[in-house]
Each structure stands twice: as structure tokens, then as C-alpha cells.
Amino acid sequence: MVDFKDSPSEAEFRSEVVMFLEETKSLRADGKDPGASFGPKSVSDGKMSDYEEWRDALVSKSWVAPHWPVESGGAGLSSREQSVLNEEFAKAGVSNIGGFGTMMLGPTLIIHGTDEQKTEHLPRIMAGEIAWCQGWSEPGAGSDLASLQTRAMRDGDEYVVNGQKIWTSGAHQADWMYMLSRTDPDAPKHRGISFLMFPMTNDGVTVRPLTQMTGHSDFNEVFFEDVRVPVANRVGEENRGWYVGATLMDFERSGIGSSVGTHKSLRELLKRTKALPRERSQLEQSAVRSAFAERVIDAEVALLFSYRLITLQAADLVPNYEASMTKMFSSEMNQRIAQLNMKVHGLYSALYDSNEEPSTTTQASYRYLRSAANTIEGGSSEIQRNIIATRGLGLPRG
């Protein structure tokens, strides 16, 4: 049974989060998200940037990695407390920091890492000092990731890495990469893979940004030519990296933040539509009004999916096909919302130039173009449907 109510302790924690957000309100002036991008200190006056103030405020509460255990520097929050934090952050329009490092790599090191690896990496992740990227997909290994061909051949106390990764989010800004590479080409494909970590400044690493149809370059292809990685930077056993990677992929947040964020985005879209004469006339069309209502219903369904995951996690269960249902529905919902945004702004939304400062109408174009990737990244909708069919419904594999 899904439980929608806060317990007394959860209600108390929610009040603490709300108070914290009120105290840090000045960092999100003009609706800006201080956690959205790294902001270095000002050279001229020595003042801390909004990003650094936000980072330090989160560090003081152990909320950079709230789901980590206390002994590893986290807050040790329960899954329900984590969902409360995500929900209130989404309402306020702010994001946490740390990305792949806090969300997935850190918890994996806590389970599989050596004491030396934990000592070296966890404090820097907690301090928000290091940006990580994930070396997963390859040109011939996307949904079937175990077919990856990037090689890491043992040479004494080092591995020599050669190959290519693609669709690597944030690689052009990352300090370190964690990756899966093939260390035994003769073993069955799931059993000859190892999990490695190394700085992006290593000799032989080349990052080439990929220009998307939005005109932006969030993804990259990364080439490795005789890149040397110490054996000490391997996480887990040699040739058992696939199972380390499986642990890492289990560390996904509840998704409640994105569901609440969708409600907020829809309210803002409706507010903008009512404020602009040309767009306001669209609301006179019953089809547009119906589309708004349908998208609000979508957002409610997405929130229910998220609550289901949280309830499973609170019962110490690991969501499987349930997570696939949530991911698939949410990514396809994002595309439907992007289509509504375009419809409201009409032909004006086609006036898009990635080199110009985005306006209300060009943001609609950007979101529409960017949403095309939603049903591919993180596992395509086809993969999610297969998981739901076989693991959820018990249907035979085709």
C-alpha cells in the first residue's frame, strides 16, 4: 500500500528543510538555481559565489549526499526523508550538487571501494570539489552495454586503456571518469569487464563535444589511446566490474523531485500563457485547455509512480520493473509537455538560435528539441517496455 502521509518525524524534517530554504533564499534571487552550475570565486572582491555559498550550506547539513551513511559523511536519511528533501528542493527550484559523484559513485565506493579509495575520493565528493562523468555507452554498445569493446590490458601495476566512449554527459567539464572496460576479451561478455577510475587529464584522453540539434554540447565522445590507469584505481575484483556497475545503477534517487518540478513547470507555463496576449488567445481553444488538463493529470500519475518507489524502498525492497515504469512514463510525459509548450507559442516558437540569449518562445524550442533524448538516455523506452513485460508481467522473452 502506498503511504502519502508524513510521519511525525518526517513532518518535523520537512519543517527543517523549509526553514533551511527560507534561510538561503537570497542565493536564488531572480529565480536562479545556485546549484545548477559551478561558480568560481570572484577574482576582484574575493567574495564567494552563490554556488559556493549553496555548497557550503549543504555541506554544513550533510545534505550534499543525504542518502550516504553518517559514518561516510552523509546524513543517513531514510528513503522517505530523502523524498521529502527532493520534494521541497523541487518546490523551491533548487538542485543539489555533486551529480554522478554523490548520486552513484560515492555509494558504490562505500560498498565496493578499498579504504584508500574511500579516503581519497569520498571527502572530495562530499565537498563538491570534483565533477565526475560516466564512461558507459560506446558506438556499438548502448542498450546492450555488456557488448562494450574498450580494452584495458594489464601491464604490471597498471592497465593500458584503448577505445572509445560516446554520449558521455559532462565529460568536457569533468575532472574524473569512472568507466567499464574489457579486461578479458575471451570471457563471456558479462564476466570480462572491470570498473576503473582515472583523471580526465591523463595522457591519451581526448574529449570531443557532440553538437546536438539544440546547438548545445552536453554530450561527448571520448577517445582513449594508451591511457595508463593504476590497478589501485580498479573498484572491485578484476573481471567482475559488471556487477560493481550494477550496484552503481541501483543508486538512483526516488524521482519525486522531478515529478514535483513538472507541476511547477506546468504552473509557470500556464502563468506565462495567460500573461501574453497572443498566447492567451490559445486558451480559448478547447483542445489547448484539454491538453493542459491532460498534462496536469500526467504529472499527478508521475508523482504516484514516485510515491510507489519510495514506499518500496521504505520497506527495504529494491524497485525493478517499477523503476522502469516510472522512467518510461516520465520521459514520455516530458515530451508531451514540450509539445504543449510549442503549441501555445505557435510559429513563434520556431524562431530559435542557440547563439542567442533564450527568450520565452525560444526556450520552448530548446525544450522541444532537447526532449527528443528523454526516451533514449538512461535506457530507451523500448528497453523499459521489455523490462516491464518480462519482469513485471512475466511474459516470455521474444
User: Any idea which residues carry the catalytic annotation?
Assistant: 252
Cell of 292: 493542459
SS3 for 306? helix
Q: How far is Cα 329 from Cα 381, in angstroms, rounded to an integer?
A: 9
Say how many CA atoms lie within 13 Å of 345 toward its Cβ. Answer: 22
Q: For residue 216, what are the CA distances in angstroms to 30, 167, 170, 377?
A: 24, 13, 12, 16
DSSP-derived secondary structure for 144-195: SGGG---EEEEETTEEEEEEEE-S-TTTTT-SEEEEEEES-TTS-TTTSEEE
Backbone φ, ψ for residue 138 (5° rounding) = -135, 165
Helix axes 321-345, 360-370, angle to 10 degrees: 140
Q: CB under 8 Å to 322, separation ≥6 — which residues?
A: 305, 308, 309, 312, 392
Q: For residue 204, what are the CA distances in angstroms to 130, 155, 157, 226, 253?
A: 21, 16, 18, 6, 34
Cell of 137: 555507452
Backbone φ, ψ for residue 195 (5° rounding) = -105, 115
